[in-house]
Amino acid sequence: MQYKENSLKQYYEMSQKVAEAIEAVFGIDVTIMNDDMDRIAGTGIYRKLIGKKIEKDSAFYYCLCSGKSQVIANQNSENDICRGCPRYLTCVEKALICVPIIHNEQYVGVIGVIAFNEEQKSKIAENNIIYLNFLEKMADLLGAKYSEHKINMEKRMLNDRLIGALNLMNAGIVLYDNTGSVLYKNKALETLLNNIGIINDDDFAKEIWSNALVQQKLIEKEYSDPCEIVVEYNKEKYSLLSSITCIKPDCASGEIILTLQDVSKFKKHIAQSIAKNQIKLGFDNILGISESMLEARNLAQKAALTDSNVLIYGESGTGKELFARAIHDHSKRAEQPLVPINCGAIPDGLLESELFGHEKGAFTGAYANKIGKFEVADNGTIFLDEISEMPFRLQVKLLRIIQEKEICRVGSNKNQKVNVRIIAATNANLTQRIKEGLFREDLYYRLNVIPIHIPPLRDRKEDIIYLARYFIQHYANIFEKSIKEISDEVMELFMRYPWPGNVRELQSVIECAVNFETSSTIGMKFIEKRLKLNPDKGGLASKYASRSLDVAIKDFEKEIIENTIKKYSFLDTKEDITQKVCRDLNISRATLYRKLKGVDSYLNNEKNLNTEI
């Protein structure tokens, strides 16, 4: 806007000089107006009227509208075009000549001379052709000046638009001449460098230019393909994604534009975009009608409304990740990524890099910077499955992340802030692992803010047939089969089978049976083969065959009690364990203690039970 005012001011100053030159030659007052009917220059009595409006229906108005020069040698003649002017009867102007100022075939103003006495009137009458030609040349001069003003304004506006567009771009842009001197930097470059800790962007821009890969690309004239460059500055390495463009075909004489982006941020956005692009799960996707399953699902729904860490307990195949996804998808972080990682499936040497990322050259094989799972999960949720398998030394680093909310990549000394909710899961007894010195107690309490226990399938019998029928319908639709039901024999077998693989095993068995069943009901034929049942081996009859009935019953009771205690060994107090065991076995506390007298050696074995009853 300031530039526009300055440019217009120059045009007005030129108009005033022209007016004064004409007045010096003619000895007659001069006024010049613009296309808004404003006086922009004047001499004599018109100097004081600069900035004032010229009346409509005047000769100047008709000249501007028609684009035709007006010569009025006698203001009071009957053919005078000014008769419609409001000041016609009181007008003291005796004669006038006015000429339009033209720019690109448009009339942008009028220049004119006005006589106020008989002497000036005679001059106009006697020399009107000469005066008209002179004024037309002066109008051409002002038209050229006006064109210059418009061209400069258009260039300035285009320049402002380009700079505005460049400053709105997310990528940093730096313009060099062919010697490497910086000609221009956009605001995004300043933001980019500030984000990676660079204060002196001029020195850093020089380091970018001297980068070996940049120089190689300039020599090879590979200007369009983005490439990753590593810039060393103040003993630190910075990875940037750069593309090179030459404004002129010959780089030796042209200017070079480099676009720059933070590679780590770029990779992080891609990883987060992929992580976000997942099917949303609701709590309705967690199937089950048993009381214990409904209780776990209700607790998970409440956990989704908070931002506290969650620890999910459950055997393999019970659906711990399903719970984690449902909690995330119903939390305030639902639009951000959920990043799962199995701590037990990755070798110890690689787990740290997977979780926290690493810098190029941090160790053998680290050929590029790597984004860690915690960075990808920033503002979202990370699901740490099999948390009990995390190496002890990494537990310290995880604890720091929870406390300080920042991470440090392997091979770097820079801390980065992260905002991550942790949902962890385990099928192990963490309190027992704490006693064995394999899991940090302080980390356990940081993770175990909201504990959720998913019961195994064998302890929720009412869910077995419900889930089996659901999976039958699901796979029958997929495989276009007309299977509707399972036989009574299969139902009975399913209710007796311990399902060590839990829901995952049941789903696999049903999928297999639907694939090969030819009737409308799933029978025992494929189920027996799939479950590898052998009545002669491993059954109760063979297990207790060599014992008396009394001893076999006691041993069987002992095994049932031990298994039930193991089921709830993750609880912290003996009162909680006792309550759960008595409830499941439908016995009193006194009966439980009486039955336990014969298993003192088991109770005293801390490897089997973390809390004595």
Do 346 and 283 lie in a common domain? yes
pLDDT above 90 as % of the chain: 30
For residues 303 and 438, state if they share a domain: yes
Tell me: do 89 and 38 sit in the same domain. yes
Find the CATH number of the domain harbouring 79. Answer: 3.30.450.40
**Per-residue tokens: 291:** 């009381």
Are 395 and 473 in a shared domain? no
- Distance between CA 123 and CA 570 in Å, rounded? 115
Closest CA to 603 of 612, 594, 590: 612
Q: Is residue 439 part of a domain?
A: yes
- Residue 442 and residue 300 in one domain: yes
Neighbour tally for 366: CB within 10 Å? 15
Give whole-number Cα distances, 87 to 42, 225, 237, 408, 549, in Å. Answer: 19, 72, 79, 84, 133
- Both 124 and 179 in one domain: the answer is no
* Assigned domain for 612 exists: no
Tell me whether residue 159 is exposed, middle or buried, using C-beta atoms within 10 angstroms of its C-beta: 0 to 12, 13 to 18, 19 or more.
exposed
Query: What is the pLDDT averaged over residues 300-327?
Result: 93
Residue 288, domain CATH: 3.40.50.300
Please give the tally of structural domains in the chain. Answer: 5
Kindly report the CATH number assigned to the domain that includes residue 251. 3.30.450.20
Q: Tell me: pLDDT of 538 over 80.
A: no
Residue 162: the pLDDT is 74
Phi and psi at residue 240, to the nearest 5°: -130, 145
Q: What average pLDDT does this structure show over 193-208?
A: 77
Q: Do 421 and 298 belong together in one domain?
A: yes
Does residue 610 form part of some domain?
A: no
**Per-residue confidence band for 608, with pLDDT thresholds at 50, 70 and 90:** very low
**pLDDT higher than 90, residue 594:** no
List residues bridging with 246 in a β-sheet.
256
The rounded Cα 109 to chain-centroid distance in angstroms is 54
Provide the whole-model pTM: 0.56
pLDDT at 363 over 90: no
Q: Would 100 be classed as within a structural domain?
A: yes
Residue of higher predicted confidence among 140 and 5: 140
Q: In this model, does residue 540 exceed pLDDT 70?
A: no
- Annotate 116-127 with DSSP letters as a single string: -SHHHHHHHHHH
DSSP secondary structure, 166-209, as one string: HHH-SSEEEEE-TTS-EEEE-HHHHHHHHHTT---HHHHHHHHH
Q: Is residue 500 part of a domain?
A: yes
Query: Which one-letter amino acid corresponds to residue 578?
Result: T
Residue 608 domain-assigned (yes or no) = no
Strand partners, 313: 426, 453
**Is residue 385, in this structure, part of any structural domain at all?**
yes
CATH of the domain at 483: 1.10.8.60
Which residues, at least 6 apart from 81, have a Cβ–Cβ distance to it below 8 Å? 59, 62, 70, 72
Q: Which amino acid is at 550?
A: D
Report which residue type is found at 82.
Answer: C
**108 and 102 in contact (C-beta within 8 Å)?**
yes
109 and 192, same domain (yes or no): no
How confident is the model over 482-496, as pLDDT tens digits? 988 889 899 888 998
- Is residue 445 domain-shared with residue 488, that is, in the same domain? no
Check whether residue 461 and residue 449 sit in a common domain.
no
pLDDT of residue 415: 84
User: CA Rg, the chain, in Å?
Assistant: 44
pLDDT of residue 250: 54
Does residue 324 contact residue 377 with C-beta atoms inside 8 Å? Answer: no
Judgement on whether residues 204 and 150 belong to the same structural domain of the protein? no
Residue 135 is predicted with a pLDDT of 92
Does any domain span residue 51? Answer: yes
Residue 508 lies in domain: 457-533
Residues 51 and 128 in one domain: yes
Q: What is the pLDDT of residues 416-474, one digit of tens each?
A: 899 999 999 999 889 988 998 999 999 999 999 999 999 999 999 999 999 999 999 99
pLDDT for the residue 566: 73
pLDDT above 80 for 337? yes
